[in-house]
Amino acid sequence: MRYLLVDRILEWQANKGIKGIKNIAMSEDYLEFHFPNRPVMPGVMLLEALTQLAGWLTAASTDFKKWFLLSQVNQCKFYSFALPGDHVVLTIEKVDNEGSTFFRGIGVVEDKKKISADFCGELIDIDRIEDIEHYRRTFQTLTRELKWR
């Protein structure tokens, strides 16, 4: 992943849902030109954050054997800008949908909706894209399960 857009995972329930946080920092390089002198997190990056959170739910639910890859966005709505300093709370719900992997997500800042999306995709083997232990350790860090010495 070029950008890890989930900063913390607050809670998750296997094959059901997950809740995480994206903190938007002024130092993120994609803000430099989007837009000059008026930085706004690109909407597609918010969608990517929701997609990554769906990936983390998939990984944790399959003992880090599978990862979710987005193939179709069925619906996506943007409500207002997410700005540097915002603490975006992301929530994903896995929806049963006749054999396909389907998710519904929302991003909220201070009780104000910023994005909602319904999307689907496929599950791939994690070891095709990365070392499984790397994903497991990253998840432990995001959930604060990693024991620091």
Catalytic residue ranges: 34
Structure tokens at 50: 């929701």
Place of tokens 């990253």: 138
Beta pairing partners, 19: 11, 91
- Rounded CA gap, 29 and 145, in Å? 29
CA–CA dist 59, 40 (Å, integer): 30
Contact between 91 and 19 under an 8 Å Cβ cutoff? The reply is: yes
Residue carrying structure tokens 């998840």:
139
DSSP for residue 147: P
Burial string for 106-118 (b: 16+ CB within 10 Å, else e) reads bbbbeeeebbbbb
